[in-house]
C-alpha cells in the first residue's frame, strides 16, 4: 500500500470512486448515439472546456443505457502509479465483492517490470467486471504530462476484453503516450464541437429549467442565450438562473400590487 494512504479520510476514497450526482438533466440523444458507436472501440476520449457538461453527459448516458460503471475521478496523486492501482483495486472490490482474491499490488520489486505488472493487473481486473461495463476516468487532465501512468494505461487498455470499455473525460487531448492507440484506431475521439449544445438542445435545456423555476422566460431567450454563450452548458444554466433571480423581485412586486388592489 502506498505511503500515507492509511491516514487519508475514508470519504476521500469514496469521492474518487463515486459517479457525480445527477440532478434533472437533459438526455442528449445525439451524443448518446455517438457514445453507442464509440464504445465499439476500447477507449473513448471526450475533450471539452470546463463547464461543458462532459461528466454529466457520460453519467447520464450510462444511466440511460443501464450500463454497469466503475467511476474513477483522477487527481494529482494518481501521478504515482501505485496510488492509481491501489484505488482502482478498491473500486473493483466494491463493484465485484464476490472476488476474494486481491488484485496484484504494485510493490517496489516491479520497478523494472512495469509492463508485465500492468498487463497482469488489467487482465485480472477486467475479468472481475460484468459484461458491458464501462471504466470512466474522469478529470484525466489532473494527471501531469510527465507521469508514467499514461504509458502504463496504454499497456493496460490493450489487455481489455471486448465486454469492457473505457471513457476518459478531460479538458485536454490524449497525452503523447497514447498515440499508439490512436494509430491502431483503438480510440474514438469526441471533441469540444461535438460536446457543445446545439441550438435545439439549448432550447430543450431552457424548457427543462423553466419547469423548475419561474415561468417568466421570454420567447426569444434561446436566441439571446445562444448569441451570448453559444453551446456552453454552464453558461446557459448560469444565465438562466440569473434571469430567474432577476424575474423573482418583479413577480413579488406584481403579486403585492394584485393583493393590494383586491382589498380595495
| Mean pLDDT on 179-189 | 94
The fraction of the chain above a pLDDT of 90, given in percent, is: 64
Between CA 183 and CA 208 the distance in angstroms is: 41
For residue 108, pLDDT beyond 70? yes
Question: 118-146 pLDDT, tens per residue?
Answer: 999 999 999 999 999 999 999 999 999 99
Nearest to 152 by CA among 87, 102, 78, 95: 78
- Give the start-to-end residue ranges of the domains of the chain: 5-195, 199-262
Q: Which grid cell is 122? A: 488489467
For residue 261, pLDDT beyond 70? no
For residue 243, pLDDT beyond 80? no
For residue 219, pLDDT beyond 70? no
Residue 263: the pLDDT is 44
Place of cell 443505457: 65
What DSSP element (H or E) covers 193? helix 192-195
Between CA 88 and CA 125 the distance in angstroms is: 9
Question: 11-52 pLDDT, tens per residue?
Answer: 445 789 999 988 778 899 999 999 999 999 999 999 999 999
Confidence of residue 262 (pLDDT cuts 50, 70, 90): very low
> How distant, in Å, are the alpha carbons of 250, 251, 254 from that of 262?
18, 17, 12
Spatial neighbors of 2 by CB under 8 A, at least 6 apart, are: 80, 82, 83, 86
Residue 250: the pLDDT is 41
Strand partners, 43: 166, 187
Residue 264: the pLDDT is 44
| Mean pLDDT on 105-130 | 92
For residue 246, pLDDT beyond 80? no
**Among the CATH numbers 3.30.460.10, 2.40.30.210, 3.20.20.70, 3.40.50.300, which is that of 5-195?**
3.40.50.300
pTM: 0.83
Nearest to 206 by CA among 191, 189, 223: 223
**How many residues in the chain?**
264
- Kindly list the strands in the beta sheet with 43-47, ordered across the sheet, starting from the edge strand earlier in the chain: 69-73, 133-138, 164-170, 43-47, 187-190
Confidence of residue 212 (pLDDT cuts 50, 70, 90): very low
Over 51-68, what HEC string results? Answer: CCCHHHHHHHHHHHCCCC
User: How does the average pLDDT of the chain come out, rounded?
Assistant: 85
The phi, psi pair for 241, rounded to 5°, reads -65, -40
Residue 186: the pLDDT is 95
Confidence of residue 247 (pLDDT cuts 50, 70, 90): low
3-state helix, strand, coil in the chain (%, to 5): 55, 10, 35
Between CA 176 and CA 164 the distance in angstroms is: 23
| Mean pLDDT on 171-177 | 96
Between CA 154 and CA 195 the distance in angstroms is: 25
Confidence of residue 252 (pLDDT cuts 50, 70, 90): very low
| Mean pLDDT on 43-71 | 96
| Mean pLDDT on 65-75 | 97
Amino acid at each position: 500500500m502506498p505511503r500515507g494512504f492509511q491516514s487519508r479520510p475514508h470519504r476521500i476514497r469514496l469521492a474518487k470512486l463515486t459517479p457525480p450526482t445527477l440532478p434533472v438533466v437533459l438526455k442528449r440523444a445525439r451524443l448518446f448515439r455517438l457514445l453507442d458507436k464509440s464504445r465499439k472501440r476500447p477507449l473513448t476520449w471526450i475533450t471539452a472546456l470546463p463547464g461543458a457538461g462532459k461528466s454529466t453527459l457520460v453519467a447520464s448516458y450510462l444511466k440511460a443505457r443501464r450500463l454497469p460503471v466503475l467511476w474513477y475521478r483522477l487527481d494529482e496523486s494518481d501521478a504515482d502509479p501505485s496510488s492509481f492501482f491501489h484505488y482502482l483495486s478498491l473500486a473493483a472490490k466494491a463493484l465485484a465483492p464476490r472476488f476474494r482474491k486481491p488484485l496484484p499490488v504494485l510493490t517496489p520489486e516491479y520497478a523494472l517490470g512495469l509492463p508485465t505488472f500492468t498487463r497482469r493487473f488489467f487482465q485480472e481486473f477486467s475479468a472481475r467486471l460484468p459484461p458491458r461495463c464501462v471504466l470512466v476516468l474522469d478529470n484525466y487532465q489532473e494527471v501531469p504530462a510527465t507521469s508514467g501512468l499514461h504509458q502504463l494505461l496504454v499497456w493496460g487498455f490493450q489487455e481489455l476484453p471486448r465486454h469492457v470499455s473505457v471513457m476518459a473525460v478531460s479538458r485536454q487531448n490524449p497525452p503523447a503516450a497514447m498515440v499508439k492507440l490512436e494509430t491502431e484506431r483503438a480510440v474514438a475521439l469526441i471533441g469540444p464541437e461535438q460536446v457543445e449544445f446545439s441550438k435545439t438542445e439549448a432550447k430543450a435545456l431552457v424548457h427543462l429549467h423553466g419547469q423548475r423555476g419561474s415561468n417568466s422566460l421570454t420567447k426569444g431567450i434561446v436566441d439571446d442565450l445562444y448569441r451570448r454563450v453559444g453551446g456552453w452548458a454552464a453558461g446557459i444554466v448560469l444565465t438562466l438562473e440569473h434571469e430567474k433571480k432577476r424575474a423573482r423581485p418583479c413577480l413579488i412586486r406584481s403579486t403585492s400590487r394584485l393583493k393590494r388592489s383586491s382589498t380595495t
